[in-house]
Chain A
Amino acid sequence: MAAFEYRQAQEIRECFQRHGVRYLFLGKSGAILLGFPDTTQDADLFVEKTPENGAALVPALRELGFALSEDQAAEVERGKDFIQLKNGPFDLDLVFAPDGIERFSDAWRRRVEVEGFPVCHIDDIIASKAATNRQKDRESLPRLRSFREYWMRQRKS
């Protein structure tokens, strides 16, 4: 499978908008949308865990080309806390309950729009990475925190 591309992010944005899916880009993919220069493999989406959103998400994913069986669709619709999809045109992690972020509504209120992409605020991205306490996140946090300082200064000016 090839790397995640800009046009695929656009497809997510347009498809999810059509289906009324509420989501935010999270993790390093979210930071990259904000301007963070780094590399990653996955797109992470923080998806609101409600019955309506789950019901909207399944047809949206199928339209994007994810081959979901009925059982898998039911799991997506129920909103398990973490779902990893590698059965479509690109890899996608659906995170319904990220570490370090209390409620979707809080993150939604703080979100940043980048060319129409809804993205978690850099503070939420950092909080989530810090809370996971994984080796790979711990290594990227100092640079991410520096980027936060840069990004906040740019927003002020």
Chain B
Amino acid sequence: MDAHEIKEGRVEDRAVEEPAILPEWMAEFEAAARRPLETRFRYAFIRTHKPVMDDAPFRAFDTTADYRRWCEENLPDWLGYGRV
């Protein structure tokens, strides 16, 4: 929907229809916005061992496509790195 509509020879503002956000997500976004960044970090970054992925100290791939391919061929499916 356009923000402006021509009506009787003049342009009138109209509210742009904004996509709905699920109420529970909205509550989470608002709660996060009230937290300092340091607290958001503490809640957000977690650590679990990812098999295969975490077993080498350094990996370098010539292309991003090589990296994606390596993930698909080597990581367990349940890690979610496979392409859909």
- Report yes or no: B58 in contact with A84, Cβ–Cβ below 8 A: yes
Which residue of chain B is the closest to A43 with respect to CB atoms?
A: B45
Q: Classify the interface of chain A: helix, strand, loop or mixed.
A: mixed
Q: List 12 A-B contacts (CB under 8 A).
A: A3-B47, A4-B45, A40-B44, A41-B47, A41-B50, A68-B58, A80-B61, A82-B60, A86-B56, A134-B80, A135-B82, A147-B25
- Report yes or no: A6 in contact with B38, Cβ–Cβ below 8 A: yes
Are A135 and B60 also in contact (CB < 8 A) when A6-B41, A37-B31, A146-B25 are? no
In the complex, chain B residues whose CB is within 8 Å of the CB of A132: 68, 83
CB < 8 Å neighbour of B28 from A1, A37, A98, A99? A37
The B-contacting residues of A in range 99-157, CB under 8 angstroms, are 99, 114-115, 132-136, 138-139, 143, 146-147, 149-151, 153-154
Are A37 and B32 also in contact (CB < 8 A) when A133-B83, A146-B21 are? yes
Determine the interface band of chain A, counting residues with CB < 8 A from chain B: 35 or more
Q: Tell me, in angstroms, the Cα distance from A115 to B39 when the chains sit together.
A: 14
Give the one of A40, A80, A95 with max B CB within 10 A: A80
Are A41 and B60 also in contact (CB < 8 A) when A133-B84, A135-B84, A146-B25 are? no
Are A75 and B45 also in contact (CB < 8 A) when A37-B40, A81-B66, A82-B67 are? no
- Report yes or no: A35 in contact with B47, Cβ–Cβ below 8 A: no
